[in-house]
Amino acid sequence: MINVDKIKIVQEKIKRALIQIEKEENITITFGSSKYDAAHFVTPMTVKTNNKTNEVLKIDSSISKRMGFTQNIIGMSFETPTGKYTIIEIKPRNRKFPIIAKAPNGVTYKYSAERIKNLIGGDKVVNRNANLEALFK
């Protein structure tokens, strides 16, 4: 019988089996929310590359620009009273809170584009940080 506990056990076993593939292929594999009944369950699996090639950076930059930023913001950090957060992903289909940031403890939080602009310091700071990063590469 399939239940929430069974799904967690099966997904953990699959994740342990996929660790070697992640290392060999330099990718990250994650599971989404599951749909299930007593007989079976379905869960989406997302595979992302860890290689930051020009093609990947161009895609990240275009998504950032669609959100209203002038530069690629993925990988940028901002400070809050609870610590330093890093922007790890943008989900353009999420209209309210498309930007995902990771907290120091590893938990991810969703933010609106306007909130991130305020936290980072606006487009001037985004441009300055992007230009500084380009100089030091």
- pLDDT single digits (tens) 63-103: 888 888 888 888 888 888 888 999 988 998 888 999 999 99
Residue 21, Cβ neighbours under 10 Å: how many? 11
Q: Which pTM value belongs to this model?
A: 0.65
| Interval 11-55: pLDDT, tens | 999 999 999 999 999 999 988 888 999 899 999 998 988 887 888
User: Which strands sit side by side in the sheet containing 99-102, from one edge to the other?
Assistant: 77-80, 83-90, 99-102, 108-111
Q: Which helix (H) or strand (E) holds 25?
A: helix 4-25
Q: Which amino acid is at 60?
A: D
Tell me how far the alpha carbon of residue 11 is from its chain's centroid: 20
Task: With both helix axes pointing from N to C terminus, report the angle between 123-135 and 113-120 in degrees, rounded to the nearest 10.
Answer: 60
